């Protein structure tokens, strides 16, 4: 078992420590665990602009240092990978890239969290009766395309998260989805199967249809539960393996020193303890 998308208390909306997450991974029989908490909002002048969503800028070096210490401490018991989930903020790509270059990350997840003045999972976005769901979806997919076109990350996070609050588009957005898939494929980025979607809206991020088309274009995949507490680690792992099998996917992407290595799913498919 592997899980590359995890969070802990520093981000302000998750529970448990980095050590708690590692211990849970060991208890569940994981071969690899990636620690990837939310990056600070580096583009704001304030040290800690949004305490309920991200860590402070001044805390970021401490976060990375702790992950490295724990990786070394646990190296004989489990393979810990050093990661971060970064926001994609249009126009700030080079700045974020320069910050991450200062740290020995194994991988970076890039996610579109903020657009149109709201967080992607903020229900307030949908409360205005004049809101156009189709426009929201189009805006989101446009940012996904821009993020992979200007890619400074290794893994694309929750690629269709805009569906997470179960407000559907009112028209056929196949064209927008296909254009997004084409951009992802051209970028070479890995896409995570993010199982927090199962908790939020009943299916993984991205959807099986999205995954099918990505797979046809040769896109690589990895697994991320987006765990915000230790008990969520590896959530829906077995169901995800079944989905991958149906798609004909036999390998998952892993990362070390920002380099991708594909491994056979059969080598990490055990459900664990």
The strand pairing partners of 194, in sequence order, are 205, 224
CATH code for position 25: 3.20.20.140
Inside any domain, residue 183: yes
Confidence of residue 271 (pLDDT cuts 50, 70, 90): low
* pTM exceeds 0.85: yes
Inside any domain, residue 9: yes
Residues 209-238: tens digit of each pLDDT:
999 999 999 999 999 999 999 999 999 999
**Cβ atoms within 10 Å of 239's Cβ, excluding its own:** 13
Inside any domain, residue 228: yes
Q: Per-residue pLDDT averaged across 99-121, rounded? A: 96
Structure tokens at 179: 């254009």
Task: Look at phi and psi of residue 258 and say left if phi exceeds 0, alpha if psi is from -120 to 50, else beta.
Answer: left
Work out whether the CA dihedral 187, 159, 169, 124 comes out positive or negative. Answer: negative
Structure tokens at 68: 């490295």
Task: Return the closest-CA partner of residue 186 out of 151, 235, 210, 143.
Answer: 151
Inside any domain, residue 234: yes
Task: Return the closest-CA partner of residue 195 out of 250, 232, 170.
Answer: 232
Q: Per-residue pLDDT averaged across 100-113, rounded? A: 98
Q: What is the pLDDT of residue 165?
A: 85
Inside any domain, residue 273: no
Distance from the Cα of residue 79 to its chain's centroid:
19
Task: Return the closest-CA partner of residue 144 out of 125, 128, 158.
Answer: 158
Q: How many structural domains comprise the chain?
A: 1
Q: What is the pLDDT of residue 268?
A: 87
Confidence of residue 270 (pLDDT cuts 50, 70, 90): low
Work out whether the CA dihedral 151, 111, 209, 169 comes out positive or negative. Answer: negative
Q: Per-residue pLDDT averaged across 82-94, rounded? A: 97
Q: What is the pLDDT of residue 39?
A: 98
Who contacts 60 (Cβ-Cβ below 8 Å, separation ≥6)? 39, 40
DSSP state at residue 126: G
Q: What is the pLDDT of residue 269?
A: 75
Task: Return the closest-CA partner of residue 156 out of 199, 188, 203, 117.
Answer: 188
Residues spanned by the domain of 221: 2-267
Inside any domain, residue 272: no
Q: Per-residue pLDDT averaged across 32-45, rounded? A: 98
């Amino acid at each position: 078992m592997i899980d590359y998308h995890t969070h802990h208390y520093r981000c302000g909306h998750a529970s448990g420590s980095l050590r708690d997450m590692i211990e849970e991974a060991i208890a569940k029989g994981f071969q690899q665990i990636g620690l990837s908490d939310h990056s600070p909002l580096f583009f704001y002048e304030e040290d800690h602009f949004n305490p309920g969503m991200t860590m402070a800028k001044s805390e970021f070096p401490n976060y990375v240092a702790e992950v490295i210490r724990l990786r070394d401490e646990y190296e004989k018991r489990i393979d810990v990978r050093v990661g971060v989930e970064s926001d994609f903020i249009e126009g700030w790509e080079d700045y974020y890239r320069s910050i991450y270059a200062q740290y020995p990350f194994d991988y970076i997840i890039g996610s579109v969290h903020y657009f149109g003045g709201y967080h992607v999972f903020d229900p307030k976005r949908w409360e205005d009766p004049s809101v156009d769901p189709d426009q929201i979806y189009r805006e989101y997919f446009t940012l996904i395309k821009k993020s992979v076109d200007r890619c400074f990350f290794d893994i694309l996070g929750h690629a269709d998260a805009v569906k997470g609050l179960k407000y559907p588009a009112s028209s056929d957005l196949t064209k927008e989805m296909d254009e997004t898939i084409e951009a992802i494929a051209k970028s070479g980025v890995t896409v995570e199967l993010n199982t927090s979607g199962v908790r939020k809206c009943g299916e993984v991020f991205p959807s099986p249809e999205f995954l099918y088309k990505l797979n046809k274009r040769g896109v690589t995949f990895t697994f991320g539960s987006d765990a915000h507490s230790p008990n969520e680690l590896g959530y829906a792992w077995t169901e995800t393996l079944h989905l991958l099998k149906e798609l004909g996917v036999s390998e998952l992407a892993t990362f070390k020193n920002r380099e991708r290595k594909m491994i056979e799913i059969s080598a990490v498919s055990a459900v664990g303890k």
